[in-house]
Amino acid sequence: MTDASVHRASFRNSKQTAAMTLIEQTKYEKLFSTPLFSFEVKGHETINAELIKEGKRLRDQSDGTAKSNRGGWHSKGNLLNEKAQCFSFLSVMVETAVLQSTRRISKVDPDTLDLKLFAWMNINPVGAFNSPHTHPGAHWSGVYYVSQPEVDDEKAGRIEFLDPRSDLPNWRILKASAFNLKKSLKPQPGEMVLFPSYLVHWVYPNTADDERITIAFNATFSKKSKKG
């Protein structure tokens, strides 16, 4: 660094030091943030074993349906209407997570609203994945992880969320995490993630020989119906 450069840097630092005595931060807030919640179901080994058993039974009975799944099996209908106890337990866990998260971010008591839950199972063999998509019409969407095969491929089975905002490329130079274009996670069995349904997301291909099994769900609030 030349003497001139040193002088300019010293002058700039002295100006900033002087400015700090003249300016005071009065407020800091995060605008337009996207909430993302994670939960862990304790003692999940037992329920996951039952979910795997019931999922394979349902797959033997139905070819499933095609949604965002590519190469995998997507169950038909609302999984939470099934009679098996593991689905009833999962319904309670999902509802608890949804209500807790809603209370965290909202001024509205969710108990004053009606809540509809709809869930389905994804079984992804090797090579299967879920293409980018959203869940229109719902408030929350989430995924409960039943089976996540261990594999050396770091990206295999990861769920990735894309920033819903546009026109942000100029922010990359600042390397600020708040303006990252995407965020990926690799939850393990027994973990549940919850996110706004408008958020574009997709799942990387499963590169393991073992199947990757998850249960996805939507949660939708509505005004309570008036009786009588």
| Neighbouring-strand partners of residue 144 | 192, 215
Distance separating alpha carbons of residues 98 and 194, to the nearest angstrom: 8
pTM: 0.87
User: Residue-wise pLDDT tens for the chain (228 aa)?
Assistant: 565 554 555 546 676 677 777 888 788 887 888 999 999 999 999 999 999 999 999 999 999 999 999 999 999 999 999 999 999 999 999 999 999 999 999 999 999 999 999 999 999 999 999 999 999 999 999 999 999 999 889 999 999 999 988 777 788 888 888 888 899 999 999 999 999 999 999 999 999 999 999 999 999 999 988 764
